[in-house]
Amino acid sequence: MRFYTKAHRHYCGIDLHARSMYVCIVDQDGAVLLHRNLACDPARFLLMIRPYREDLVVGVECIFNWYWLADLCSSEGITFVLGHALYMRAIHGAKAKNDRIDSRKTAALLRGGLMPQAYVYPPEMRATRDLMRRRLHFVRHRGQLLAHIQMTHHQYNLPSPGRRISYRSNREGLEAGFEDASARESVAADVTLANHYETVINELELSVLRQARGHDPNSLQLLRSLPGIGKVLALTILYEIHDIRRFERVQEFASYSRLVKCQHSSAGKVLGTGGAKIGNAYLKWAFSEAAVLFLAKCPQGKELLARIERKHGKAKALSILAHRIGRAVYFMLTRQKAFDLTRFMRS
């Protein structure tokens, strides 16, 4: 975890909401210069901080609506720090908690060099990343519809469709086997929605792919050189990472991708592991999928998995393979070299 430790003349802590923001500005000595609630209006915010613009840093907790404030500070040349919500315990663990107290504590964390930093994703690729995440949301909804079709067949003790209904051509006439009219309507509704989701998903994939070719086509090709990483996984990894240079070490990247467990110890005693939910869930999903597809696309992958199983057991083998694929992706993007299967199997 990185902390913001730079010294400034003025520190601005903000408790941000959808329609309002509580602003607290303190100086180097901790004296409160401004403490006021105002609407989320860029012009009013700039007017209020004008007397303190000299060497000012603005800090806010990472919630859903920080985009506009980060872009405003960037355009105005103001240093902006995004606080990691899961690590800001000084705010969430207080006995008394309200907007006024939270903004004051955020300013105090900035001043004391204890503000845990989250990554401020730049606006050039941020909207495309969000579009890719939205696509995954639609894919999961489509999967729920297909699962409900299968469950409805089981409810009425009907044989399975006999073909993979994930393909659109195999979903025609699925409702005809049900005698009850309401059951037929239910299955027909699922099929209609699944077909519509597929149309939207395909259009989103084409849109993101066109934008990726303009953002970073070389990295996209490097990712697709790894067996098991296709178009969708490559786009997901590309946009979730953004710039591999923000990770100084491969260990930091593996931790960010939720590919390793963090040990908890005290007084020389190991107390277990934790932090499994801290990191990027989309990268964790992408590398877990890549590990399964790597085994299907690469015959040598099964030999590697067998070696890992003999050493670490079957329960951990797939997770270790996903970790190795994540490390390989890090070095591929860092060195700008395509996937080397011989080196991967030897490592």
Domain coverage including residue 91: 3-116
Q: Specify if 94 maps to a domain.
A: yes
Note the pTM of the prediction, 2 decimals.
0.89
Q: What are 104-124's pLDDT values in tens digits?
A: 999 999 999 999 999 999 999
Q: C-alpha distances in angstroms, 10 versus 25, 57, 105?
A: 7, 7, 14
Domain check: are 211 and 139 in the same one? yes
Q: Specify if 136 maps to a domain.
A: yes
Burial of residue 67, with CB atoms counted within 10 A of its CB: 0-12 exposed, 13-18 middle, 19 or more buried? middle
Average pLDDT over residues 170-179: 89
The label of the residue with tokens 């845990």 reads: 116
Looking at residue 289, its amino acid is: E
CA contacts within 13 A on the Cβ side of 279: 22
Q: What are 58-82's pLDDT values in tens digits?
A: 999 998 999 999 999 999 999 999 9
pLDDT of residue 161: 82
Domain check: are 50 and 141 in the same one? no
- pLDDT reading at 170 higher than 70: yes
Domain check: are 26 and 94 in the same one? yes
- Across 220-229, 266-275, 309-318, least confident range: 266-275
Q: How many domains does the chain have?
A: 3
Domain check: are 177 and 101 in the same one? no
Identify the H or E element spanning 164: none
Spatial CA neighbour of 235 closest among 256, 207, 260 = 207
Q: Specify if 272 maps to a domain.
A: no
Q: Specify if 268 maps to a domain.
A: no
Do 67 and 97 form a contact (C-beta atoms < 8 A)?
no
Whole-angstrom Cα distance, residue 180 to residue 186?
10
142 — pLDDT class (breaks 50, 70, 90):
very high
270 — pLDDT class (breaks 50, 70, 90):
confident
Give the CATH number of the domain where residue 11 resides: 3.30.420.10
Domain check: are 112 and 152 in the same one? no
Q: Which residues pair with 24 in a beta bridge?
A: 13, 35
Q: Specify if 69 maps to a domain.
A: yes
Q: What are 276-334's pLDDT values in tens digits?
A: 788 999 999 999 999 999 999 999 999 999 999 999 998 899 999 999 999 999 999 99
Do 26 and 11 form a contact (C-beta atoms < 8 A)?
yes
Do 101 and 6 form a contact (C-beta atoms < 8 A)?
no
Going by the DSSP 8-state scheme, the letter that residue 291 receives in this structure is: H
Average pLDDT over residues 193-209: 95
- pLDDT reading at 47 higher than 80: yes
* Residue 77, phi-psi category: left (phi > 0), alpha (psi -120 to 50), beta (remainder): left
pLDDT of residue 93: 72
Q: Which residues pair with 39 in a beta bridge?
A: 20
Q: Specify if 237 maps to a domain.
A: no
Whole-angstrom Cα distance, residue 280 to residue 141?
21
The label of the residue with tokens 């050493």 reads: 311
Spatial CA neighbour of 4 closest among 59, 71, 56 = 59
Do 119 and 26 form a contact (C-beta atoms < 8 A)?
no
pLDDT of residue 90: 67
Q: What is the mean pLDDT of the chain?
A: 93
Spatial CA neighbour of 110 closest among 93, 88, 92 = 88
Q: Which residues pair with 143 in a beta bridge?
A: none
- Across 1-15, 87-101, 121-135, 145-159, least confident range: 87-101
Whole-angstrom Cα distance, residue 299 to residue 208?
31
Per-residue burial over 37-48, b = 16 or more CB atoms within 10 Å of its CB, e = otherwise: eeebeeeebeeb
Looking at residue 161, its amino acid is: P
Domain check: are 16 and 99 in the same one? yes
Do 128 and 208 form a contact (C-beta atoms < 8 A)?
yes
* 251 against 268, higher pLDDT: 251
